[in-house]
Amino acid sequence: MTETATSFAALLHLLRYAKGYRRRIVLASTCSALNTFFDVMPEILIGIAIDVVVNQQQSFVASLGFATPQSQIVALGVLTFIIWVGESVFEFLHLILWRNLAQDLQADLRQDAYEQVQSQDMSYFESRSTGELSAILNDDVNQLERFLDGGANDFLQVFVTVVLVGGVFFYVSPMIAWLAIMPIPVVIWGAFFFMRRATPLYADVRSQVGSLANRLSNNLGGMATIKSFTAEQRESKRLREASNKYVSANRKAIKVSSAFVPLIRMAILSGFLATFIVGGFKTLDGTLNVGAYGMLVFLTQRLLWPLTRLAQTVDLYERAMASTRRILKLIETPSEVRDTGQRNLAHPISGAIEFDSLSFSYNQSEAGVQDVTLSVPAGQTVALVGATGSGKSTLIKLLLRFYKVTSGQIRVDGIPVDDLSFASLRASIGLVSQDVFLFEGSVKDNIAYGRPDASRDEIESAAMAAEAHEFINQLPEGFDTLVGERGVKLSGGQRQRLSLARAIIKNPAILILDEATSAVDNETEAAIQRSLAKVSKNRTVLVVAHRLSTIVGAHNIVVLDAGRVVEQGTHAQLITANGYYARQWQVQTGAA
């Protein structure tokens, strides 16, 4: 497929997406056309006015019933007033309609793209950077908005101008008309030549935008690491390289677009000179009316000069279509894990979990789990232990349906999780992970994230259960204190306790602790353990742990190695078995 065809296909794709806006598009286009019609009329009136002054009682206006030159001039003045009012009204309307359309369409595109990204399984994000996705959701959508704000109207007005003025030319003098429109094929050829050259260049520009956004996102998110390793100069150099690549890609596109304008100007000059000279000769020999000659000279510029904007408009169009392809490709990316389940868990939820011959591996990796069969009875605490990469956290992610299992099945209260809706499944699970993510907002908002309708008393009760109430009250504004981006204003232990409070207020039947205490100090760990002892009652608890001392009291300890269950039992049973768990216990307690 050629680059021009690619751009046209992207436009058709966009129009199919915007089918709900077709009435508004037609209305905006109609106002643009009428604005152009009224905009062209003054040049025609100038020619008619010259005809009145020269021919007076024999003028064209006189044939309409206006006998005296004075009445003809007055009639033209009234008509001029009406035309200028019409032009102003329809300019206002097309600006309002196109700009509002651009705002609404870009908002819908961004929302649909975001919701599609949000619906993806976690494997989708393994091969895509947040910077690239942010560039599509922001910069690409804004690029399309810029085209709809003005470029679409410019295309329409150029087209209407050529048709309307061309019709007047052919009516007055077909020979001059052919001479005047002679440059138009050159202009069109130049536009399509430019599009062929520009399409891959603008695709590269959009790609470099994504890379630059990714670099900025990574550096801003990792500022503490950059400073701690005194890597400021190195990262500045990397950013400069990414920025230079973006500038270079833009320069190549600008070079092509800049060459288009001089070509158009020379084409316009040839058309204008043809009208000026040939029309002048015809007027001198009496075969062309003086007023008609003046009108044609003015209309030649009106016919051809708008074509100079074609370069800028095509430039906007190509940038917009490059962005459109990226946006719509994102919107139409299918998700491997779909929310197609129709069943809901029966209340009260028991929380029994079964992993039945479960297998899964990550993309382009052998890591995962293999043939795991495990039963977690309702109301019991089961711990998952093993070396890094043994599959502990993978089981949790599969239970939450973050990934699609390769084979086997997971059941909650006897129902396959694939048959459950995301809302029913995930509402029954509270997750407290090692990597706590807090949203920018207040302490109160973060605790109530899973239950935005929670009362102040419920929020405070959850904070007390997580032993977070004391430190929250010491904050400058208590529960209304802003935590900063990702909770940067709080310590790691404070963030962890807020995460636990966030899970507690959800009141889930299943509580998952994924390395929840591995990165906190001893005091915070003790506080979290006390909280867990309270909140784990009458709940199914899955604990992923490296510190074996934290799971001694679990009803069942499951040991994984290379994605397989190698042993399980109580702490006492596993110590007696003298296997993997016993060896790790000895290492951690210093008995080895």
pLDDT tens profile 99-134: 899 889 888 888 888 888 888 877 777 777 777 788
Q: Give the residue, 356 or 230, on which the prediction is more confident.
A: 356
pLDDT at 208: 83
Q: Which H or E run contains 561? A: strand 556-561
Alpha carbon distance 263, 275 (integer Å): 19
* Percent of the chain clearing pLDDT 90 (strictly above): 7
pLDDT at 354: 92
Q: Tell me how crowded residue 358 is: count the other CB atoms within 10 A of its CB.
A: 25
Decide: helix, strand or coil at residue 430: strand
Tens of pLDDT, residues 136-195:
888 888 888 888 887 888 888 888 887 887 777 777 777 877 877 777 777 777 766 776
Q: What are phi and psi of 430, to 5 degrees?
A: -110, 125
Cα→Cα distances 338→116, 335, 353, 401, 406, Å: 11, 6, 21, 9, 15
Regarding pTM above 0.75, the answer is: no
What's the residue count for the chain? 592
Nearest one of 73, 23, 50, 295 to 180, comparing CA atoms: 295
DSSP-assigned letters across all residues of 249-281: HHHHHHHHHHHHHHHHHHHHHHHHHHHHHHHHH
Average pLDDT taken over every residue of the chain: 81
Q: What are phi and psi of 410, to 5 degrees?
A: -120, 135
Tens of pLDDT, residues 43-64:
777 767 766 666 666 666 666 6
Per-residue pLDDT band for 355 (boundaries 50, 70, 90) equals: very high
Mean pLDDT, residues 431-453 taken together: 83
Residues of the chain with CATH 3.40.50.300: 353-589
Alpha carbon distance 477, 528 (integer Å): 24
Alpha carbon distance 169, 47 (integer Å): 12
The dotted CATH code for 3-331 is 1.20.1560.10
* Percent of the chain clearing pLDDT 70 (strictly above): 88
Q: What are phi and psi of 144, to 5 degrees?
A: -65, -40
Alpha carbon distance 417, 259 (integer Å): 60
Burial class (CB in 10 A: 0-12, 13-18, 19+), 150: middle
- List residues bridging with 513 in a β-sheet: 432, 543
Alpha carbon distance 500, 416 (integer Å): 27
Which two structure tokens, joined as six digits, stand for 586?
């000895």
pLDDT surpasses 70 at 444? yes
pLDDT at 51: 66
Residues of the chain with CATH 1.20.1560.10: 3-331
Tens of pLDDT, residues 474-483:
888 888 888 8
pLDDT at 410: 92
Per-residue pLDDT band for 409 (boundaries 50, 70, 90) equals: very high
CATH of 353-589, one of 1.10.3720.10, 1.10.3470.10, 3.40.50.300, 3.30.9.10: 3.40.50.300
pLDDT surpasses 60 at 564? yes
pLDDT at 222: 72
Which two structure tokens, joined as six digits, stand for 580?
């993997």
SS (H, E, C) 511-526: EEEECCCCCCCHHHHH
On whether the CB atoms of residues 441 and 481 are closer than 8 A, the answer is no
Asked if residue 348 has a cis previous peptide bond (ω within 30° of 0), the answer is yes
